[in-house]
């Protein structure tokens, strides 16, 4: 099967013709051959799907050879384009009953630092930045079963009323699972599909990729047994996509997971994407070890982060975008990642809490101009996107004019 078949990724991408048989291709092949990856290079250069066994080898092979292959794919799909957005994070509560070993953000109600924002307070946070050209609000939070169903609808309505033009990307699969349970408990709805219709009517535009952690049953039992299983996460994402919503996907790496468990996770994402085509972006989430029960794990090194992005670009042939989320890696690493498969750096963020509670040393927000500068400094072409990858502004004159929708890839 062709790697991009049925994926929505344009195989005749902007640089494909130029890259075929080019010096660049020969260099990529030679480097791969020297690393013992000649057969994998053949598949990659012919846009053929890699196997899980190939994935295992990519985790062990010379990083620069793997990176060169991933960069070749990245440039075939996106050329030099690198996406960012102007967004704002709102973590509406840190109340949580999941007690995940990796989490530093959760609190019990009444504990020092615990909070639940009223919908009006969340809206007020958006209005604090009313002078900024924000196109997305990203809302993820802890899970607390006593929060009533109407809270979630009112939260969406309040942020939409405050800034109707903004796309609301909210609720991980874990939160959605709880919202559906609450709706059943209150006798409001029986199915997640019905709940999603309510959420969409209240303003939900798409869903973020968190909460997946690592799908491995072994790690789930060890580190986050109160959370939905990997299979339930995937089943929830399937429902979200069936409801016509796009979502992102993630993997939390750099703790107790094995390479085989990482490949299995990526494979399960790839199989669901073959089925639904609903994932827009994959984001590897680097484990941050401060103030949580997993502090004895160190988290990934910069080189681990680059490899994680590169392997993902090569295995996830049907997901259009790979994000190097600048908040959780040092900015120079995120810039380097743009030559290791990543084509997106996320956004201005504004008030990141989850990673900073766990020891992140990056700023909690950044200006739009800085993002543009970082991307240009890395030798790439900045493209401001909205949540659904419509082009808002671009330094690339070939792209659609401001405001007009761009193709998903290429
Ligand atoms: O689900 C929590 C992770 C996720 C830690 O979709 C941690 O564009 C590392 O969903 N170390 C939430 N990771 C973040 C999230 C997200 C972030 C950026 C972009 C998008 C997107 C989504 O953060 C959680 C969990 O997997 N997380 N604690 C930690 N100590």
Query: 247: which strand partners?
Result: 207, 279
Round the average pLDDT of the chain to a whole number and report it.
93
Q: Per the annotation, does 102 bind a ligand? A: yes
What is the predicted pLDDT for the residue at 409?
32
Q: Ligand 1 in contact with 337 (CB < 6 A)?
A: no
The first and second tokens of residue 318, run together, are 């049907």
| Interatomic CA distance for residues 136 and 166, integer angstroms | 5
Task: Give the closest residue (by CA) to ligand 1 atom 15.
Answer: 210
Ligand 1 atom at shortest distance from the alpha carbon of 327: 18
Q: Which two tokens stand for residue 295?
A: 């502090």
User: Does residue 173 have its Cβ closer than 6 Å to ligand 1?
Assistant: no
- pLDDT(107) > 80: yes
Distance CA(366)–CA(51), nearest Å, equals 39
What are 82-106's pLDDT values in tens digits? 999 999 999 999 999 999 999 999 9
Structure tokens at 97: 């009953």
**Residues 44-71: b if buried by 16+ CB within 10 A, e if exposed:** bbebebbeeebbebbbebebebbbbbbb
pLDDT on residue 390? 95
Q: Is the confidence at residue 273, as pLDDT, over 90? A: yes
Q: In this structure, are 166 and 285 located in the same domain? A: yes
pLDDT digits (tens, 9 = 90+) for 166-187: 999 999 999 999 999 999 999 9
Residue nearest to atom 28 of ligand 1 (CA): 103
Q: 254 CB under 6 A from ligand 1?
A: no
ipTM of the complex: 0.98
- Number of helices (H), then strands (E), belonging to the chain: the values are 16, 11
Domain shared by 190 and 247, yes or no: yes
In a domain, 5, yes or no: no
Could you tell me if 123 and 56 lie in one domain? no
Q: What digits encode the pLDDT tens for the residues 341-365? A: 999 999 999 889 999 999 999 988 8
Same-domain pairing of 327 and 340: yes
Shared domain for 48 and 99, answered yes or no, is no
Q: Which of 39, 32, 46, 36 is nearest to 4 (CA)?
A: 46
Task: State which residues form the domain around 71.
Answer: 23-77
Q: What does the alpha-carbon distance between residue 352 and residue 355 come to, in Å, rounded to a whole number? A: 7
Does 239 lie in the same domain as 138? yes
Domain with residue 297: its CATH number is 3.20.20.70
pLDDT tens digits for 197-246?
A: 999 999 999 999 999 999 999 999 999 999 999 999 999 999 999 999 99
- Does residue 113 belong to any structural domain of this protein? yes
């Amino acid at each position: 099967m062709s790697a991009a078949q049925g994926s929505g990724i344009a195989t005749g991408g902007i640089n494909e013709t130029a890259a075929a048989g080019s010096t660049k291709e020969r260099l990529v092949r030679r480097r791969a051959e020297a690393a013992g990856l000649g057969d994998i290079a053949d598949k990659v250069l012919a846009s053929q799907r890699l196997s899980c066994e190939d994935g295992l080898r990519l985790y062990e092979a010379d990083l620069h050879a793997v990176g060169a292959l991933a960069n070749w794919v990245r440039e075939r799909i996106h050329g030099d384009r690198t996406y960012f957005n102007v967004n704002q994070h709102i973590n509406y509560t840190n109340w949580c009953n999941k007690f995940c070993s990796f989490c530093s953000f959760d609190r019990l109600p009444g504990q020092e630092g615990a909070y639940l924002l009223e919908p009006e307070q969340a809206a007020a946070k958006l209005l604090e930045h009313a002078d900024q050209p924000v196109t997305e609000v990203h809302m993820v939070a802890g899970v607390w079963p006593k929060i009533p169903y109407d809270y979630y609808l009112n939260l969406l309505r309040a942020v939409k009323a405050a800034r109707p033009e903004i796309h609301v990307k909210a609720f991980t699969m874990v939160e959605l699972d709880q919202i559906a349970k609450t709706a059943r408990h209150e006798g409001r709805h029986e199915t997640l599909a019905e709940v999603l219709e309510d959420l969409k009517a209240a303003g939900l535009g798409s869903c973020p990729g968190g909460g997946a952690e690592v799908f491995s049953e072994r790690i789930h039992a060890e580190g986050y047994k109160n959370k939905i299983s990997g299979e339930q996460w995937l089943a929830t994402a399937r429902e979200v996509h069936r409801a016509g919503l796009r979502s992102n996907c993630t993997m939390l790496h750099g703790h107790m997971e094995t390479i085989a468990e990482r490949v299995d996770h990526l494979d399960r994402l790839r199989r669901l994407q073959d089925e639904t085509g609903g994932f827009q972006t994959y984001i590897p989430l680097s484990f941050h070890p401060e103030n949580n029960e997993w502090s004895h794990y160190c988290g990934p090194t910069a080189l681990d982060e680059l490899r994680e992005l590169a392997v993902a670009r090569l295995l996830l042939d049907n997901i259009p975008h790979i994000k190097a989320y600048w908040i959780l890696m040092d900015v120079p690493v995120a810039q380097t990642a743009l030559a290791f498969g990543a084509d997106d750096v996320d956004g201005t963020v504004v008030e990141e809490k989850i990673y900073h509670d766990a020891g992140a040393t990056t700023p909690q927000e950044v200006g739009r101009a800085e993002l543009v500068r970082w991307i240009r400094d890395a030798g790439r072409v900045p493209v401001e996107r909205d949540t659904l990858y419509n082009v808002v502004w671009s330094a690339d004159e070939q792209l659609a004019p401001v405001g007009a929708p761009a193709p998903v890839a290429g």
